[in-house]
Amino acid sequence: MKTSSRIAQLKPSATLAVNAKALELKAQGKEIISLAVGEPDFPTPDYVRDACKRALDDGFTRYGAVPGLPELRSAVANYFNLMYGTSASAEHTMITNGGKQALFNLLQSLINPGDEVIIPAPYWVSYPPMVQLAEGEPVAVAASAEAGFKVTVDQLEAARTEKTAVLMLNSPSNPTGAAYSREEIDAIAEWAISHDLFIISDEIYDQLVYAPAEHASLAPWWEKYPEQVCIVNGLAKSFAMTGWRIGYVLAHVDLIKAMSKIQGQSTSNVCSFAQKGAVAALSGGFDVVDTMRASFRKRRDLAMSIIGKWPNVVCPVPQGAFYLFPDVHRLYNETYPDSAAMCTYLLEEAGVALVPGAAFGDDNCIRISYAVDEKTLEESLNKIARILFG
Ligand SMILES: Cc1ncc(COP(=O)(O)O)c(C=O)c1O
């Protein structure tokens, strides 16, 4: 079967091998625990599900406006205004099929062939392929575990060329959980703006930041430089709504129009009744989010109390999201010389599925998700320790 050269240049996901192996072992009757998950283990709040059910019963099942339900766009604008002191209105927002489609629409709308996009590494798996699909060049800038997985302005400046068009930021980060401080974000934003770059700030984990750390949003920079900054967010992580596919963007009106063209020619509106549920989520108060955040924080502390004692492993304390990204490369040996081999070994020997750091642009590390209950987390980390350290 002949497929396009676009497809040929895309690398297959490095997570697939571990997933395939996990399925194979499960089929053989082995007990496998997954710490590879990228979604909260909580149910979507009742009042959100009820709003969606009501919409269905009311027959709210037709095509809708491409950039989203006006009511939901207003709720999104209110969210930014309330959380980050912006003065956004519905026209500055757009509803997408998850944060993922927001990122895809943005890159398709902003990038010309050959444009370079700076991506701090470790990065979320989909950033480089999405840049390539927009015919841009991903330029990774590496931050080590010792640097807290955060890049500096000097590093970014060293990566900048005449072709650099966009900087993609993700704080708190998947896979590292690193969250940039206000000072760090401001310094990076100032640098990017002064060099006429466009900043895409993926803030999908903005509600999952653990005190005393605070989320430093780029939203105030959007307010000042709406033609150079946009914010991506969504309900998947903060409201445990991964399957609903509700993402949203805060951007300049012209960019919203450009993205609507892409969405209008590809997927059209996001599921009508799911958007009604999303209105309920954003309008219903944040108590459920507070409860989930408190629970994730406890799990983070539990996981750190175990991993922090592992010899020859460097794991900065994550300030947000629900991942740990220990640097384990000092443990590599003939049996597991890289992150993929170590994950395969741990899957076979400990029965625990993890994601190799190579998938996120850092082969020194492995990603551990703590979106599981405390007992499962503790047991599986102890199983890993027994295999690695005896
Ligand atoms: C950093 C980051 N951005 C975007 C997304 C996409 O989220 P959604 O499920 O809303 O498409 C994810 C999901 O894992 C993520 O981790």
DSSP string, 97-137: SHHHHHHHHHHHHHPPTT-EEEEEES--TTHHHHHHHTT-E
Say which CATH number the domain at 316 has.
Answer: 3.90.1150.10
Which of 283, 317, 337 is a domain's end point?
Answer: 283
Would residue 52 count as lying in a domain? no
Would residue 150 count as lying in a domain? yes
Q: How far is the CA of 198 from the centre of ligand 1 (A)?
A: 20
Q: How far is the CA of 48 from the centre of ligand 1 (A)?
A: 20
Same domain, 270 and 296: no
Same domain, 146 and 263: yes
Give DSSP secondary structure letters for 24-53.
HHHHTT---EE----S-SSPPPHHHHHHHH
- Name the residue type at position 346: L
Distance CA 368, CA 325 (A): 6
Contact 171, 138 (CB under 8 A): no
**pLDDT value, residue 8:** 86
15 pLDDT band (50/70/90 cuts)? low
Residue 304 has, within 13 A of its CA and on its CB side, a CA count of 15
Would residue 143 count as lying in a domain? yes
Sign of CA dihedral 341, 344, 348, 349: positive
The torsion of the CA quartet 379, 43, 64, 203, rounded to 10 degrees, works out to -50
Q: How far is the CA of 240 from the centre of ligand 1 (A)?
A: 12
What is the radius of gyration, based on Cα positions, of the chain? 21
- Name the residue type at position 5: S
Say which CATH number the domain at 124 has.
Answer: 3.40.640.10
Q: What are phi and psi of 273, to 5 degrees?
A: -75, -25
Same domain, 16 and 154: no
Distance CA 340, CA 111 (A): 32
Which residues, including other chains, have CB under 8 Å from residue 170's CB and lie 6 or more apart?
120, 123, 124, 127, 201, 202, 203, 204
Same domain, 315 and 276: no
**pLDDT value, residue 37:** 84
Would residue 56 count as lying in a domain? no
Q: Ligand 1 test: best mutation among 13, 174, 204, 245, most atoms within 8 Å of CB?
A: 204
Give DSSP secondary structure letters for 189-250.
HHHHHHTT-EEEEE-TTTT-B-TT-----SHHHHHH-TTTEEEEEESTTTTT-GGG--EEEE
- Give the pLDDT confidence of 71-118 residue by residue, as tens digits: 999 999 999 999 999 999 999 999 999 999 999 999 999 999 999 999
Ligand 1 near 233 CB (within 6 A): no
**Which amino acid residue places its CA nearest to atom 13 of ligand 1?**
38
Domain span including residue 250: 62-283
Contact 178, 150 (CB under 8 A): yes
Whether residue 293 has pLDDT greater than 80:
yes
Q: What is the DSSP letter of 23?
A: H
Ligand 1 near 242 CB (within 6 A): yes
Would residue 182 count as lying in a domain? yes
Same domain, 221 and 150: yes
Same domain, 111 and 228: yes
| Higher-pLDDT residue of 37, 241 | 241
Would residue 334 count as lying in a domain? yes
What's the rounded mean pLDDT across residues 340-366? Answer: 95
Same domain, 264 and 363: no
Number of domains in the chain: 2
Which of 253, 283, 313 is a domain's end point?
Answer: 283
Would residue 93 count as lying in a domain? yes
Ligand 1 near 128 CB (within 6 A): no
Which of 283, 314, 347 is a domain's end point?
Answer: 283
Whether residue 154 has pLDDT greater than 70:
yes
Same domain, 225 and 255: yes
**pLDDT value, residue 23:** 84
Which residues, including other chains, have CB under 8 Å from residue 243's CB and lie 6 or more apart?
none
Would residue 344 count as lying in a domain? yes
Same domain, 324 and 297: yes
Same domain, 196 and 326: no
Closest ligand 1 atom to 38 CA: 14
Q: Ligand 1 test: best mutation among 100, 180, 203, 271, most atoms within 8 Å of CB?
A: 100
Same domain, 97 and 117: yes
- Give the pLDDT confidence of 32-68 residue by residue, as tens digits: 999 998 889 999 999 999 999 999 999 999 999 999 9
Same domain, 167 and 208: yes
